[in-house]
Structure 1
Amino acid sequence: MIARRSARGAEVVLGLCAYTHDSAAALLVNGHLIGFAEEERLDGVKHSKAYPTKAVAWLLDEAGLTANEVTTVAYNFDGRRYLPALGQFPAHLARAATRSRAVARSRSFLTVHRRYQARMRDLARRFPLARLVPVLHHRAHALYAFLSAGVDDAAVLVVDSLGELQTTTIWHAAHRDEQTLHLRLAAAVKDPASLGYAYGAVTEHLGWRRGDEEGTVMALAALGEPARFGDLMSRAIPLTTDGFALNPGLLPLRVLSSRYRRTSPVFTSATCSPRPPDAPVEPVHADLAAALQERTEQVMLHLARRAARLTGSGLLCLGGGVAMNCVAAGQVARAGIVDEVHIPPAPGDAGTAIGAAAAAWLEATRCPPTGIGGHCYLGPAYPDLALSGQPRPGLVAERPADPVQHLARQLADGVIVGLFTGRLEAGPRALGNRSILASPFANEVVDRLNGTVKFREPFRPFAPVILADKAADYVRLRQSSPFMSIAAPVTELTRTHLPAIVHGNGTARVQTVTRTQHPFLASVLSAFGEITGHPVLINTSLNIKGRPICGTPDMALDCLLETGLDALLIEGWWVTKC
């Protein structure tokens, strides 16, 4: 049980993803989610590995609490679970394909365990009156994925690179009465079999940063021919009755150190040399990306079928880093394996801050926390922002009388606009509060966005945001997609009139919006539709490649100054360049 109450009698649970990539914090007070924030959006360091100082300070201030009033700190890893990896040592040492890395692998897991112990000591110093609760990483993923769906029963499939030793888990979650929530582990796959590891390995081989730019490889895959390396990827990631495995002759045994390459000389000779990040992208790179993506989709379909069989549930919740692969998620959604696929707004490790807090609350009370289901706008807001007529050198600001109509007209005229409004979104997708919006009617818009605003590869697609009740006119998707998590085939109407939102594989990663979900954005879409005939806009994140989504007004103004953005609508202020 939660050991103590705060001085004011509240039970205060702080959930943390800290000291590793995607640092984040979430706060529950008496079981209700007060908020959630990713540190990168506040400190400006993409995938920040710091303790989330700024996020925690904002949450405590939002709740009117101090660190000494936190009763429980829930951490998103249980570092004690790293030690069972040592039991794999004899088998790895006995096998020729893994022998050379067996010792280094065991030592690396011991190192990570020691780091975990140091992290717990640091948390004990920061919160001397709180109970520390380590949470199994995949359990944190699974709880958040399920709770964010706001349903009573679901299968949950978590697929990532590595928890403690788990890489893939299947859960059955059920909340059949008002009080008790049950989360049962139905199946697990352990490292070294890891789909996230495999995708990251090939991402790195192709010259992009693993753990950051897998989405670039997913986008490149649409331009390649998977057949060229299809057999190789099938051998690298064979399917099994229980899930899948990795071939260590092609994707070597994981060592928790960046000094060890994740693709083998055999893999290189069968595909291509590792591509330097600044080298041209050639057809062989696209073909390898296509084969990797195809195999990922095959594995995810295989796992989804197993999850449906083991649980009997008609809803499948996806969590973990691989759940951010919107093309694979789209394949699962269209396969008819389940009635609906749900992906939370923050399926990666940042979201486990919420899951860890939920796990600690659930352990103490058996009751699910509130304020999580359906919510994505959970971070800091700046409703009282005041700007001068010249907020920065080279910028001018004014307040339009009707922001909705003003923005819609500007977008219809081809202006590319940053939008900063309301509470910061959770997760990697801009969902209308920290977005860049543009008209979808010409491919030149994509060229401008990639070349002068986002500074990224020209083959990267841009996602559309569509009024939910009009989505069927533009994409073939049987369900809603409020968190921009699923790539769906487009209709002929979209191909003909909105080519800028169609990727090379004929899909679009769509966000569907209702007036309940986002009244302002829905109104802008309606007004834009009245002007152009189509209530559809390009929606991409308010940031530059290599930097996080702008979480603060200063970051947003910097983005306007440093990019080809034409304007920024920030809390009702229309800011343009002189």
Structure 2
Amino acid sequence: MNSPIYILGTGLSHNGSVVLLKDGRVCVGIEKERLSRVKHDGGNDTLAIQYCLDAEGIELKDITLVVQCANFEIPGRDRFRGERIFAGTETPKIVDISHHLAHAYSAVGTSPFSECAVMVIDGCGSPLHQFLQLHPDQKKDVPQSVLNKNQMICEKDSFYHFDGKQLTPLLKDFSEMTKFGTQQFSLPTSLHSIGGFYAVISQYVFGDLDDVGKLMGLAPFGNSGVFEFEAFEFESGRLFVKEDWKYKFTNPSQGYEYFKEHFDYYANVARWAQEQVEKAVIACITNRLEQFPHENLCYSGGVALNAVANAKLEDSKIVKNIYFEPAAGDNGLALGCAFYGWIEYLKMPKIQHDGNTCFGKKYTAKDIDAVFQKEEYKKYNPKIFDSEDELLQYCAEKLNEGKTIGWFQSGSEFGPRSLGRRSILAHPGIKNMKDHINRDIKFREDFRPFAPAVIKDKVGEYFMTGRNSPYMILVDKTRPEYSKELINVTHKDGSARVQTVEESWNPRFAKLIAEFYKQSGIAVLLNTSLNKKGMPIVETPQEAVHLFEITALDVLVIENYVVER
């Protein structure tokens, strides 16, 4: 019997991650922050690589190829922000690829398409000099006007074609970097990128870059038309950020209390920025597809996490089929690195992905027992359910009573959204539940929304478009007749970031919602990530128990183990 071919992909930018392919399929993957417990952690990858090796039960010598990607440098074999696991070894071979190529392959490898166009839009990719060092054959694809620039310039959007065997760049755009610190709208991103624009507005509104996704959550509280000027313009097929709007915003946030005092103003700014991003994304992708038509489109890069813009893009019908990569941010770079190694470097056929995005390792009863045997956790004395049906009935009853549940099942999700493996769950319609979870469990701003997780074949009953959205990366509108039943998962403007639950790769979560539906008559649960503000999503049983201890969660379920206050 032939030995398996293992390819390891590693992303060493912020939001670092590692993914392991076995014969072309993902067998394990993890974001570094889940292990180090430092939000958006990146740099050295030894911790995440060791996790993947241990989870698969192999050693470094079993790896056929490593493919890596870092934004502004090419990491050394022995050291990168500390000693690496490859130090002192000559095998496996390490190959480097550029930032946008990794984003693109993360979408290609997990998409349902055998052939497609690929769009990558983010805040800042590889610098031009590094890109050309890694891919000298692509110099011909870079406009001469870009090659002539003296200052540092970086990738900002890229458009490719995948023919089933290889990814070919069709159009790449670069932008000079912002001169950091020269004015209030200066951040270390490319000057003319959509992602860079969204980041600087987030900085202006919140005073920090803790979570640019907050801007999307704030936007529905604002009004359209308050600011009647444009942030972007197209010139000769290239997207640019204009300068004149920057002088119209002169009241940057001075902290959370100041933000709350001027809430309406900042909500209006967020609404304007969100609408500008939506228009820019559609304009940019429309331009590329007009030049290079294709009925299938993969979309990745940090901007592809904007669920509102994604829904507008899908509804625009400018392309027949769109696949939105669930780990579209830099946490997906490792995924793209691994698939590049399999498809392009080793010239192996693409293996159809099953749609699952939960790549973490499973924890055993022995692992869970060990946590509850610790002196500080002996007080909990968990109940262990032998029957899955009884466990689900119990959990559904608690949810229907208005209890909140910390839900820990199987391998963790890869990417920024909790999809029913590491989740906080609650009733979608009990009054004030949303405020309670934000205030007493998540410890975050009260305007932040929660997502509805719905049985897939019921989505059209509760939501207007009824679109398939398994990765919580698209919004829909709650049907008015269900606004009361879904009050905790419907945003101020009637929108909802829906998750359609797939029983094929999320069976226990699907069964729980079905049982809740049987008891409550509602086929929807409130679903949010199992963490609190500033904390990475829980990875281990011990972290789950710790979160239960420091928050107001009512029930914690770890596999078949249940503790209740």
Q: Return the TM-score normalized by structure 2.
A: 0.85
CA offset digits 1:354-411 (Å, max 9, x no partner): 1011112223332245374512111121133443877615523102341111111111
How far apart, CA to CA, are the structure 2 residues paired with 1:50 and 1:365? 26
Aligned to 2:40: 47
How far apart, CA to CA, are the structure 1 residues paired with 2:466 and 2:562? 37
Secondary structure of the residue aligned to 1:229 is: coil
The number of residues matched between the two structures is 511
Aligned to 1:516: 504
Aligned to 1:38: 31
- Tell me the CA shift for residue 350 of structure 1: 1.1
1:238 to 233, 237, 240: 233
How far apart, CA to CA, are the structure 1 residues paired with 2:3 and 2:207? 50
Report whether the alignment pairs 1:451 with 2:439: yes
- Structure 1 range deviating more: 435-444 or 119-128: 119-128
Report whether the alignment pairs 1:427 with 2:415: yes
Q: Match for 2:171: what amino acid?
A: A
Q: Match for 2:174: what amino acid?
A: K
Aligned to 2:203: 204
Aligned to 2:158: 169
Indicate how the Cα distance of structure 1 residues 122 and 530 shifts in structure 2: closer, same or farther if over 3 A, else same.
same
How far apart, CA to CA, are the structure 2 residues paired with 1:127 and 1:544? 40
- Tell me the CA shift for residue 523 of structure 1: 1.1
2:382 to 397, 420, 424: 397
How far apart, CA to CA, are the structure 2 residues paired with 1:34 and 1:59? 9
Matches within 5 A, 1:22-421: 22-77=15-70, 112-113=72-73, 119=80, 125=87, 127-164=89-126, 165-175=154-164, 181-191=165-175, 192-210=191-209, 212-231=210-229, 234=230, 236-248=231-243, 266-269=247-250, 272-281=251-260, 282=262, 283-370=264-351, 372-384=353-365, 385-387=367-369, 392=377, 394-400=379-385, 401=387, 402-421=390-409
How far apart, CA to CA, are the structure 1 residues paired with 2:27 and 2:73? 31
Secondary structure of the residue aligned to 2:87 is: helix
Asked if the contact 2:470/2:500 (under 8 Å) is kept, the reply is yes
How far apart, CA to CA, are the structure 2 residues paired with 1:305 and 1:207? 32
Aligned to 1:437: 425
How far apart, CA to CA, are the structure 2 residues paired with 1:154 and 1:517? 24
How far apart, CA to CA, are the structure 1 residues paired with 2:403 and 2:373? 21
Indicate how the Cα distance of structure 1 residues 377 and 122 shifts in structure 2: closer, same or farther if over 3 A, else same.
same
- Tell me the CA shift for residue 479 of structure 1: 3.3
**Structure 2 gap ranges (5+):** 127-153, 176-190
Q: Match for 2:69: what amino acid?
A: N
Asked if the contact 2:159/2:288 (under 8 Å) is kept, the reply is yes
How far apart, CA to CA, are the structure 2 residues paired with 1:11 and 1:530? 45
- Tell me the CA shift for residue 114 of structure 1: 8.0
Report whether the alignment pairs 1:16 with 2:3: no
Asked if the contact 1:149/1:342 (under 8 Å) is kept, the reply is yes
- Tell me the CA shift for residue 113 of structure 1: 4.2
How far apart, CA to CA, are the structure 1 residues paired with 2:83 and 2:169? 31
Q: Return the TM-score normalized by structure 1.
A: 0.83
Aligned to 2:532: 544
CA offset digits 1:465-489 (Å, max 9, x no partner): 0000000011123531111110111
Secondary structure of the residue aligned to 1:55 is: helix
Asked if the contact 1:404/1:523 (under 8 Å) is kept, the reply is yes
How far apart, CA to CA, are the structure 2 residues paired with 1:390 and 1:65? 29
- Tell me the CA shift for residue 424 of structure 1: 0.9
- Tell me the CA shift for residue 186 of structure 1: 2.1
How far apart, CA to CA, are the structure 1 residues paired with 2:55 and 2:74? 34
- Tell me the CA shift for residue 115 of structure 1: 7.3
Aligned to 2:459: 471
Aligned to 2:141: none
Indicate how the Cα distance of structure 1 residues 336 and 428 shifts in structure 2: closer, same or farther if over 3 A, else same.
same
- Structure 1 range deviating more: 433-442 or 379-388: 379-388
**Structure 1 gap ranges (5+):** 1-7, 80-111, 176-180, 251-263
Asked if the contact 1:137/1:352 (under 8 Å) is kept, the reply is yes
Report whether the alignment pairs 1:507 with 2:488: no
- Tell me the CA shift for residue 157 of structure 1: 1.5
Secondary structure of the residue aligned to 2:525 is: strand
- Tell me the CA shift for residue 241 of structure 1: 4.4
How far apart, CA to CA, are the structure 1 residues paired with 2:109 and 2:482? 34
Asked if the contact 2:207/2:253 (under 8 Å) is kept, the reply is no
Secondary structure of the residue aligned to 1:158 is: strand
Percent of aligned pairs sharing the same letter: 29
- Structure 1 range deviating more: 131-140 or 45-54: 45-54
CA offset digits 1:509-549 (Å, max 9, x no partner): 00001322311111111111111111100000000010010
Report the RMSD for the aligned CA atoms in angstroms: 2.4
- Tell me the CA shift for residue 137 of structure 1: 1.0
Secondary structure of the residue aligned to 2:465 is: coil
CA offset digits 1:75-96 (Å, max 9, x no partner): 124x6xxxxxxxxxxxxxxxxx
Asked if the contact 2:304/2:325 (under 8 Å) is kept, the reply is no
How far apart, CA to CA, are the structure 2 residues paired with 1:202 and 1:375? 33
- Structure 1 range deviating more: 424-433 or 66-75: 66-75
- Tell me the CA shift for residue 34 of structure 1: 2.1
Q: Match for 2:159: what amino acid?
A: I
How far apart, CA to CA, are the structure 2 residues paired with 1:446 and 1:519? 26
How far apart, CA to CA, are the structure 2 residues paired with 1:25 and 1:166? 23
How far apart, CA to CA, are the structure 1 residues paired with 2:461 and 2:65? 48
How far apart, CA to CA, are the structure 2 residues paired with 1:371 and 1:46? 32
